[in-house]
Amino acid sequence: MLNNNYLRALPYELGKLFQLSTLGLKGNPLGSDVLQLFSEVNGTRKLLDFMLDNLAVSSSHPPSRPWIQLSPLDRANPTALFTVMCYNVLCDRYATRGLYGYCPQWALNWEYRKKGILDEVRHYAADIIALQEVETDQFYKFFLPELKRDGYEGIFSPKSRAKTMSESDRKHVDGCAIFYRTSKFQLIKEQLVEFNQLAIEHANGHEDMLNRVMTKDNIALAALLQTKEACWENGVPPDPKDVAQPILVCSAHIHWDPEFCDVKLIQSMMLMEQLRQIMENFGHSFRPGHKKGPDAVQLLLCADFNSLPQSGVIEFINNGHVAATHPEFKDIGYKECLLKMLSHTNNDKEFTHAFNMASAYSPELMPYTNYTFDFKGIIDYIFYPRQSMRPLGILGPISEEWLKESKIIGCPHPHIPSDHFSLLVELGLTIGSAAPVNNLVHQPPPSLLGFNRRKNEF
């Protein structure tokens, strides 16, 4: 309470008290503009918002994120070399003062944030870019035309609810997008995975599958890409057929609510089963005469799983199996539905998937990918095939020192356009060789390292 304190002016820093519900200002000779705003309905909230919106940004821009070299390039063999970005850009519809009260309104506005997002994407110039929370209208009017100028093509699908909406409402629905550099990749095929449709298909009248899983309209988008000659370093493979390596890239966004951990786990199981089916179909038609099955095509999985590293979701993706009695199923009897759905699972004790995947990032190298006032943790991931690819380097975390010195309590922030940090990995694919494990070596930022190889492509 600041009543009767002879205050003639208020410091704009008061705007940082975004959780304050009551402010006493009676008996102070404040300016009429302040008093008028304060006297309105929800006056405290309006005044604090006004103060925050007019508070000068005192923090400097964050320092460059470090490039962490994980493994040297194999100079002895032809290697398909490419970078992959995964980035949840925070769509305009969710960037509200109610959710991000610590951020000025002008820094939440899409017209401001979209410039920072595009700058981030362009700065790292990844060969494959998987985005989540892209608004339909923004994909077609902003991201696609802008990135086409930089040598990319892209595909997109909105969340399932778009089907039931009018055309004017549909353009504000967010979804997943995949962009690829056309000098290095060719698009062969694309496919949408709709979790609510899969829930209907496999529910068999199961109430919780219908009431809990089917009601969430999250999606995943898959693109079958084929490497071009420009993707290869140290020459091309001796067999010309091996130049065109098929890679299935997936951009996925799993349900957010911690209360629905069962839904997150089931959506992730649906995803891996659908990717197996897609790869079997793609692999057989794409390379007739070659081996059939998931190993015929490489999988790159980029996702906002909304799940921490110790969750059942990441246990399932990373280890290839999860117990049928895992607590995140909430003791709901999904087992029969899931056993029928998962063709790869051959016993009723655990659920399995067909892939051998590894995460490009570890918690030791990236302590959080989502950074808000209420939550800070790892929920975004890039998974790659453990046997056939190896990560050569990753983009490290934003400076912890800068966050503390600048008193950044959450993002978005005027210098950080999303509540998520982008992930970036450089991957090497060598035909017929296992991926060795190397010790970590820290190196300068990417602009001084492997990224100079890509400058010649423009």
| Residue 183 per-residue DSSP state | T
3-state SS assignment for residue 119: helix
Please tell me the distance from the alpha carbon of residue 422 to that of residue 87, in angstroms, as a whole number: 5
Backbone angles phi, psi at 82, to 5 degrees: -160, 160
Name the nearest CA neighbour of 361 among 70, 47, 91, 136: 70
The two three-digit tokens of residue 277, written as one number: 């089916």
Distances in Å between the alpha carbon of 259 and those of 126, 265, 304? Answer: 35, 12, 17
Backbone angles phi, psi at 155, to 5 degrees: -130, 160
In Å, how far from its chain's centre is CA 95? 16
Active site residue 331: no
3-state SS assignment for residue 296: helix
Please tell me the distance from the alpha carbon of residue 127 to that of residue 448, in angstroms, as a whole number: 17
Strand 389-395 with 423-430, pairing: antiparallel
Please tell me the distance from the alpha carbon of residue 226 to that of residue 21, in angstroms, as a whole number: 56
Please tell me the distance from the alpha carbon of residue 282 to that of residue 297, in angstroms, as a whole number: 8
Q: Pick the catalytic residue from 304, 331, 348, 380.
A: 304
Instruction: List residues with catalytic annotation.
Output: 304
